[in-house]
């Protein structure tokens, strides 16, 4: 196979394309869903004001999001993104939003009735309250193996000066799991299983206290297959009512909001007039706009098998954000093991990428990015450890491959381990299809 190394230089082209745009097209890839969840870039910046108003009043920044369902089928183009999602964000109070959907069906996995989601930010005596609610009816999972008449997830956060509270709770009506007794008042993070079939976590709640506020992440139900069900392999996942609410006192910290995301892989075969094949982001993790209080959020996937297009071992994505009265840091990472792409064209023992933005006490922002490859081989050629950013490799008659792709704005860093664009139709994908392996983005937005 003919392999031609081209000079690096796409960084300036990417950066130029970014000027005046949001990070949703940072690498020319549609990332609007993730950016909406992350509450970053132009959308958030457009509603943010100074950390302290002209009158010296306290300014609270917040983010709230809720969805009805999300399905990820490993090794398949069968995915269902976050349904009936609604979001609010920024500093403008009061603020409300809502969304609804009559029904959802993912063949063999999920059937839902009506879904409604809503968020509210309002003032209360001495501070603010930010809420999110999701309600889903007629839940039928795995052909009736798990059913719920109705489920409601509610998240409430409050912040008064430096005092914060955060509560998340899911209520189930008529939940049925064979051979398992579910309490009427389900405890937080209650885990049950049908041995060898599925594991189930109910009323999932993770609360993170930050230096200047609170972040609460919730879901009603998280079902993971322990063995294949129909065409869905073990490891496939169903989420109901995933939500996230965070609020921060911007007056008490460096005047910034932050955001970002990381994920393991994504396949986009959507080519106008040709075909539509899409496999969503695996092990996706999001950095909330209010940060994480220095704690690390983690999402992982045991393996991905979409051979011959893509086969991977474990994937782990992380997000960490912290602020103090003068400085701030936002970081996202991805780490992938045992990589095999396009039937052995690309192989590696491991890939790790990091995107970081720091804010110094004087307001200076420093974006950095890094990718590390362990035994990366492309078309039989071993790639050196110190391969330059944005190196392009043309594999004649098959694909254009960019490795260690990096791009920066003054407040944003992005890194993508490997980006493959097919120049011929292959493995069920059309000409122009794109395969991403490892992506991370972090940003800090001055308020």
Tell me the three state secondary structure of residue 284.
coil
Structural domain contains residue 43: no
* Number of domains within the chain: 2
100 plus 112 within the same structural domain: yes
Structural domain contains residue 46: no
Peptide bond into 308 cis (omega under 30): yes
Structural domain contains residue 407: yes
Burial zone of 128 (CB within 10 Å; 0-12 exposed, 13-18 middle, 19+ buried): buried
The string of DSSP letters for 135-152 reads EEEEEEETTTTEEEEEEE
By DSSP bridging, strand 328-341 and strand 304-306 are unpaired
Distances in Å between the Cα of 337 and the Cα atoms of 10, 14, 98, 192, 340 are 27, 28, 40, 29, 10
Structural domain contains residue 364: yes
11 plus 91 within the same structural domain: no
By DSSP bridging, strand 104-106 and strand 110-112 are antiparallel
The helix (H) or strand (E) run that includes residue 13 is helix 10-18
Domain boundary among 225, 252, 279: 252
User: How far apart are the two ends of the chain, measured CA to CA in Å?
Assistant: 51
355 plus 393 within the same structural domain: yes
338 plus 356 within the same structural domain: yes
* CA separation for the pair 17, 433 (Å, rounded): 21
218 plus 300 within the same structural domain: no
**Contact assessment for residue 192 and residue 182, using Cβ atoms and an 8 Å cutoff:** yes
68 plus 22 within the same structural domain: no
By DSSP bridging, strand 377-378 and strand 365-374 are unpaired
Domain boundary among 252, 270, 292: 252
* CA separation for the pair 14, 30 (Å, rounded): 14
Q: What is the pLDDT of residue 54?
A: 39
Residues 6+ apart with CB under 8 A from 327: 254, 358, 359, 360, 361
97 plus 237 within the same structural domain: yes
* CA separation for the pair 371, 416 (Å, rounded): 8
4 plus 124 within the same structural domain: no
Q: Positive or negative CA dihedral for 184, 188, 194, 195?
A: negative
Structural domain contains residue 208: yes
185 plus 143 within the same structural domain: yes
Give the structural domain span for 366.
1-32+256-447
Structural domain contains residue 224: yes
Domain boundary among 217, 252, 287: 252
Residues 6+ apart with CB under 8 A from 71: 78, 79, 80, 106, 109, 110, 236, 237, 238, 239
* CA separation for the pair 8, 385 (Å, rounded): 16
Stated pTM of the model: 0.65
The three-state DSSP-derived secondary structure of 38-107 is: HCCHHHHHHHCCCCECCCCCECEEEEEEECCEEEECCCCCCEECCCCCEEEEECCCCEEEEEEECCEEEC
Taking only the tens of pLDDT, the chain with its 447 residues reads: 333 333 333 333 333 333 333 333 444 433 333 333 333 333 332 222 223 343 456 778 888 889 888 887 765 544 556 778 788 877 889 999 998 888 888 777 889 999 999 999 999 999 999 999 999 999 999 999 999 999 999 999 999 978 899 999 999 999 999 999 999 999 999 999 999 999 999 999 999 887 678 889 999 999 999 998 887 888 888 999 999 998 988 765 556 778 888 988 888 765 444 444 556 677 778 887 778 878 888 877 766 767 788 888 888 899 999 888 788 999 999 999 999 999 999 999 999 999 999 999 898 999 999 999 999 999 999 998 888 999 999 998 899 999 999 999 989 999 999 999 999 988 878 888 889 999 999 998 876
212 plus 247 within the same structural domain: yes
159 plus 61 within the same structural domain: yes
* CA separation for the pair 413, 390 (Å, rounded): 14
Q: What is the pLDDT of residue 265?
A: 86
**Contact assessment for residue 357 and residue 412, using Cβ atoms and an 8 Å cutoff:** yes
Structural domain contains residue 42: no
Q: What is the pLDDT of residue 16?
A: 35
247 plus 376 within the same structural domain: no
Cα Rg of the chain (Å, integer) = 22
Q: What is the pLDDT of residue 23?
A: 32
Q: What is the pLDDT of residue 399?
A: 93
Q: What angle do CA 402, 405, 410 make, to 5 degrees?
A: 150
Residues 6+ apart with CB under 8 A from 82: 33, 37, 67, 68, 69, 70, 242
Structural domain contains residue 44: no
């Amino acid at each position: 196979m003919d392999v031609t190394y081209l000079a690096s230089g796409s960084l300036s082209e990417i950066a130029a394309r970014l000027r005046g745009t949001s990070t949703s097209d940072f690498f020319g890839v549609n990332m609007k869903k993730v950016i909406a969840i992350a509450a970053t870039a132009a959308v958030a910046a457009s509603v943010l004001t100074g950390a302290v108003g002209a009158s010296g009043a306290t300014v609270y920044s917040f983010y709230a999001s809720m969805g009805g369902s999300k399905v990820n089928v490993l090794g398949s183009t069968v995915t269902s993104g976050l349904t009936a999602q609604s979001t609010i964000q920024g500093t403008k109070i009061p603020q409300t939003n809502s969304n609804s959907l009559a029904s959802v069906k993912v063949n063999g996995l999920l059937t839902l009735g009506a879904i409604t989601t809503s968020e509210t930010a309002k003032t209360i005596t001495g501070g603010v309250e930010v809420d999110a609610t999701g309600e889903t009816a007629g839940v039928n999972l795995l052909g009736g193996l798990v059913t719920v008449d109705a489920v409601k997830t509610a998240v409430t956060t409050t912040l008064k000066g430096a005092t914060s509270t955060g509560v998340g709770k899911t209520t189930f009506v008529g939940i049925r799991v064979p051979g398992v007794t579910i309490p009427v008042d389900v405890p937080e993070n209650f885990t049950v299983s049908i041995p060898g079939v599925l594991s189930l976590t109910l009323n999932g709640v993770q609360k993170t206290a930050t230096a200047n506020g609170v972040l609460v992440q919730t879901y009603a139900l998280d079902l993971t297959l322990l063995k294949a069900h129909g065409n869905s392999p073990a490891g496939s996942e169903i989420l109901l009512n995933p939500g996230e609410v965070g609020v921060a006192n911007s007056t008490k910290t460096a005047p910034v909001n932050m955001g970002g995301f990381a994920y393991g892989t994504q396949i986009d075969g959507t080519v106008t007039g040709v075909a539509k094949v899409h496999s969503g982001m695996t092990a996706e993790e999001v950095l909330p706009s209010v940060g994480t209080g220095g704690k690390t959020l983690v999402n992982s996937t045991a393996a991905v098998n979409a051979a011959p297009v893509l086969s991977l071992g474990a994937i782990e994505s992380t997000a960490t954000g912290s602020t103090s009265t003068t400085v701030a840091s936002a970081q996202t990472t991805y780490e992938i093991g045992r990589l095999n792409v396009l039937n052995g064209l690309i192989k590696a023992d491991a890939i790790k990428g990091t995107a970081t933005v720091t804010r110094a006490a004087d307001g200076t922002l420093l974006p950095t990015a890094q990718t590390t490859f362990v035994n990366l081989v492309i078309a039989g050629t071993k790639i050196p450890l110190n391969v330059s950013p944005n190196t392009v490799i043309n594999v004649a008659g098959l694909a254009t491959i960019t490795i260690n792709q990096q791009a920066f704005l003054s407040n944003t860093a992005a890194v993508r381990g490997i980006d493959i664009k097919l120049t011929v139709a292959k493995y069920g994908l059309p000409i122009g299809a794109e395969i991403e392996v490892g992506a991370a983005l972090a940003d800090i937005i001055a308020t």
